Amino acid sequence: AQSVAQPEDQVNVAEGNPLTVKCTYSVSGNPYLFWYVQYPNRGLQFLLKYITGDNLVKGSYGFEAEFNKSQTSFHLKKPSALVSDSALYFCAVRVMDSNYQLIWGAGTKLIIKP
């Protein structure tokens, strides 16, 4: 069965420190992976995606994610956290043979403390 897991409900990071939000997946075949961010009282916003190619994907707001096939992970990273990065982050994986359906993680709340 296909699945995506975000093992941490919440991540706390001090401003200026690097941050990592974890995501692991289980799919058959090549995965298409996505990160979205949700700010309070807002809809989800696309951050970045991995389809193929370079394992390090760069996205919006200085975020990047590293695809690791052997560990079936797609962790979201940023070298220096900002207080404004505080939000809910969702990882998602495309359902195989679908051009529209995603399996969504439960979300990780990221809190950046000044």
Partner 1 sequence: DAGVIQSPRHEVTEMGQEVTLRCKPISGHNSLFWYRQTMMRGLELLIYFNNNVPIDDSGMPEDRFSAKMPNASFSTLKIQPSEPRDSAVYFCASSFPTSGFYNEQFFGPGTRLTVL
- The binding site for partner 1 (CB under 8 A) comprises 32, 34, 36, 41-46, 49, 51, 90, 94, 99-102, 104, 106-107
- Cα–Cα distances (Å) from 21 to 79, 97, 100, 107, in that order, read 12, 27, 24, 10
Listed residue (45, 74, 78, 54) closest to 64, CA to CA: 78
Locus of tokens 């962790």: 75
- Please state the closest distance from residue 73 (CB atom) to partner 1, in A: 20
Q: Which is nearer to partner 1, 43 or 114 (CB)?
A: 43
- Please state the closest distance from residue 90 (CB atom) to partner 1, in A: 7
Q: Which is nearer to partner 1, 41 or 70 (CB)?
A: 41
